[in-house]
């Protein structure tokens, strides 16, 4: 994906809209913090920036992982529906 940001305002809007903290990403994925750590440590979800205590993720990466997780849930936990 290619991004063309021409002003500081566009950069700020992009960050607010497209960059998620660990907590926000976990909420979107509907997983707990422990599962989130497993995804990151296992290389299944890569943060764009890691800091002590939290990481930052691109929304598009998290939404793509959500599709994978939902497909796995349907396959391995069909009784949840």
Q: Whole-model pTM?
A: 0.83
Segment 37-66, tens digit of pLDDT: 999 999 999 999 998 878 999 999 999 999
| CA contacts within 13 A on the Cβ side of 78 | 1
The CATH number of whichever domain residue 34 belongs to comes to 1.10.1660
**What is the total residue count of the chain?**
81
Q: Would you state the pLDDT for residue 78?
A: 67
Is 3 part of a structural domain of the chain?
A: no
Is 2 part of a structural domain of the chain?
A: no
For 58, which DSSP code?
Answer: E
Q: CA angle 27-75-66, nearest 5°?
A: 25
36, 22 contact by CB (below 8 A): yes
Residue 18 lies in domain: 8-80
> How many structural domains does the chain have?
1
Is 12 part of a structural domain of the chain?
A: yes
């Amino acid at each position: 994906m290619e991004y063309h940001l021409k002003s500081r305002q566009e950069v700020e809007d992009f960050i607010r809209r497209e960059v998620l903290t660990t907590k926000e990403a976990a909420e979107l994925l509907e997983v707990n913090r422990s599962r989130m750590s497993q995804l990151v440590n296992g290389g299944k979800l890569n943060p764009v920036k890691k800091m002590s205590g939290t990481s930052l993720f691109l929304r598009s990466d998290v939404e793509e992982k959500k599709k994978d997780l939902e497909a796995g849930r349907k396959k391995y936990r069909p009784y949840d529906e």
